[in-house]
Amino acid sequence: MDFEVRRSPVVLISGGGLGGLLLGILLERAGIQYHIFERASIIKPLGSVMVLGSTILPVFEQLGLLEDLERFAVPFKSTTLHSEKTDGKLKQLAILGMKNEKDIAGYQSQTFVRHQLYNLLLSRIPPENITLGKKVLKVVERDDRIMIYCSDKSAYVGDILVGADGSYSAIRQCIYREMAKEKLLPKADAEDLVAGYTCMVGATTRLDVEKYPKLIGDHCQSEAVLGCESRSWSCWGISDHRICWSLKVQYKTLEEAKRQMFMSSSWHSGSHPAMIKEFENLPCPLGGTLGDLFEMTPKGTISKVYLEHKMYTTWYYKRSVLLGDACHKMLPAAGQGAVNALQDAVILANCLYDLEDVSQESVTAAFKRYYDQRYTHAKTQFENSELAAKITTGLNWTDRWTRTLYLNLLPPSAQQGIFAKTTTYQPQVAFLPLVPFRGTGTVLPQVPSTRYTAEQESYERGGKEKMNRRASKLEIEYPADICFLPPRLQ
């Protein structure tokens, strides 16, 4: 086909989280018009640790962001798993992690506080292409275009809508409601998210290395403890001699989980004194007690979150498409949630770059290519996250049994084989020069962009790309007949 007459789509992105921001950066590079609508009006520096694995780092290198990332990150190698004895002492159970990751996979995983990555990505989005304090409520398709309505009664129109708005995605709820009406929604997708844990996270200020000598070193000290009852906790030494900590309480029954979640959803900042009290006398594997860490943690960075998990099978409908937590909410134990949201953004941008025109037919074909390239990989990481959670935080008897089997019966070489296998999927941006694979392991082949390949050939012949990009007005008059109801599935 002829790329010279193609019209570039206008892409609306609901949610400026990690996935939405990376998609914006990629569309900027692709020359595709986009706008990000983010509900939050201020960005809070929540103190949650994040590990970014080797499978997404090639993209950071392609975008010239790897050095910026490495400036605030420390390399991650392994997690030491302990169990709490009845006398309050810790017993080391295992060291979990991939050996020689950099040699095999070409990159070493990196650890930092989540908002550091957030700020890096946000700094690459021109302010005129993101609006904060915009909560998307409703989606309407009309005349081959898609409209979104926000809580401040503004409305915007585009060709494609991306729901990058996290685990309670308004876009997912809107399109699922439509699909349910049309009897197109699989039953499992209509069910609620399931939570297994309450989790609280925070990050200390700079600590005294005389008290915490383990913080001196060139990589992240990561330690996890399985408590005597339904409690588990972990600590990571990150850059600037700081410690990120996380506390988890596992629910015993589904009913308990539902009761806990009834009051609220998503992230809550605040000091949560009851949960703090429950943990403060427990030992911190990096030294002292957890209470010592709480004292060194600015209250505003502490937040409480329910750890839910669900793999959705429906990722797109008409002109809307989902990415990240909106379509696969993973447990954090394997450090895969953000990586997969970012990989979604990469593949979706690749597919939009190759979009033939903005007809519904072409849009659906592009969404299908995205889904076909991503679903299986995301599902595998979803399952790995479930297993990692059982091994590193699970405390009921079935989890303990799984852990015993994994740690005692699976030979270390088999464990390393599993780690190595997960690093073979390293998708890159197909419309930018690829970075060569420098590892000794293997990687899956990249899916090339037909348009980029054609453009490269045309450049080589001395031709010039002529994009017929329609300058569209994004903001539209707000129609009087729309009523603003918060989206609900049932």
Ligand X SMILES: Cc1cc2nc3c(=O)[nH]c(=O)nc-3n(C[C@H](O)[C@H](O)[C@H](O)COP(=O)(O)OP(=O)(O)OC[C@H]3O[C@@H](n4cnc5c(N)ncnc54)[C@H](O)[C@@H]3O)c2cc1C
Interacting residues with ligand NAG (CB under 6 A) = 28, 33-34, 126, 128-129, 196, 389-390, 394, 396-399
How far apart CA 192 and CA 215 sit, in angstroms, is 41
Q: How far apart are the first and last CA of the chain?
A: 44
Figure out which of the listed residues 5, 40, 405, 414 binds ligand X, where binding follows CB under 6 A.
Answer: 40
CB atoms within 10 A of CB 301: 20
Helix (H) or strand (E) run with residue 447 in it = none
Q: Could you tell me how many residues of this chain bind ligand X (CB under 6 A)?
A: 34
At a CB cut-off of 8 Å and minimum separation 6, what does 76 contact? Answer: 51, 97, 108, 109, 110, 111, 219, 220, 222
Q: Which is nearer to ligand NAG, 56 or 195 (CB)?
A: 195
How far apart CA 285 and CA 211 sit, in angstroms, is 12
Q: Contact region for ligand X (CB under 6 A) — 36-44, 58-66, 172-180, 210-218?
A: 36-44
- Measured in degrees and rounded to the nearest 5, phi and psi for residue 275 equal -70, -40
Q: Which is nearer to ligand X, 303 or 449 (CB)?
A: 303
Per rule CB under 6 A, is residue 341 in the interface with ligand X? Answer: yes
Residues constituting the chain: 490
Contact in structure between 154 and 475 (CB atoms under 8 Å): yes
Structure tokens at 28: 């900027």
Q: Which does 19 bind (CB under 5 to 8 A by kind): ligand NAG, ligand X, none?
A: ligand X
Per rule CB under 6 A, is residue 455 in the interface with ligand X? Answer: no
Per rule CB under 6 A, is residue 47 in the interface with ligand X? Answer: no
Q: Which is nearer to ligand X, 333 or 429 (CB)?
A: 333
Q: Which does 135 bind (CB under 5 to 8 A by kind): ligand X, ligand NAG, none?
A: ligand X
Q: Tokens 């206008």 belong to which residue?
A: 10
Figure out which of the listed residues 73, 224, 339, 348 binds ligand X, where binding follows CB under 6 A.
Answer: 339
The closest of 376, 344, 375, 382 to 56, measured between CA atoms, is 344
How far apart CA 393 and CA 380 sit, in angstroms, is 19
Q: Which is nearer to ligand X, 201 or 224 (CB)?
A: 201
Figure out which of the listed residues 11, 27, 51, 117 binds ligand X, where binding follows CB under 6 A.
Answer: 51
Q: Which is nearer to ligand NAG, 262 or 397 (CB)?
A: 397
Q: Which is nearer to ligand X, 6 or 374 (CB)?
A: 374
- The per-residue DSSP string of 101-137 comes to HHHHHSS--EEEEHHHHHHHHHTTS-GGGEEES--EE
Q: Which does 428 bind (CB under 5 to 8 A by kind): ligand NAG, ligand X, none?
A: none
Per rule CB under 6 A, is residue 337 in the interface with ligand X? Answer: yes
In terms of phi and psi (left: phi > 0; alpha: psi -120 to 50; beta: otherwise), the region of 133 is left
> How near is the Cβ of 393 to ligand X at its closest, in Å?
11
> How near is the Cβ of 394 to ligand NAG at its closest, in Å?
4
Q: Which does 39 bind (CB under 5 to 8 A by kind): ligand NAG, ligand X, none?
A: ligand X
Contact in structure between 52 and 75 (CB atoms under 8 Å): no
Per rule CB under 6 A, is residue 238 in the interface with ligand X? Answer: no
Q: Which is nearer to ligand X, 50 or 430 (CB)?
A: 50
Q: Which is nearer to ligand NAG, 73 or 136 (CB)?
A: 136
Q: Which amino acid is located at 278 in the chain?
A: E
Task: Kindly write out the interface string for residues 355-394 of this chain, putting x where it contacts ligand X by CB under 6 A and - elsewhere.
Answer: ----------------------------------------
**DSSP code, position 219:** S
CA atoms within a 13 Å half-sphere pointing along the CA-CB vector of 86: 0
At a CB cut-off of 8 Å and minimum separation 6, what does 210 contact? Answer: none
Q: Which is nearer to ligand NAG, 177 or 469 (CB)?
A: 469
> How near is the Cβ of 326 to ligand X at its closest, in Å?
6
How far apart CA 430 and CA 351 sit, in angstroms, is 9
Figure out which of the listed residues 33, 48, 62, 222 binds ligand X, where binding follows CB under 6 A.
Answer: 48
Give the footprint of ligand X on this chain (CB under 6 A): 14-20, 37-40, 48, 50-51, 135-136, 164-166, 170, 199, 201, 246, 305, 324-326, 332, 335-339, 341
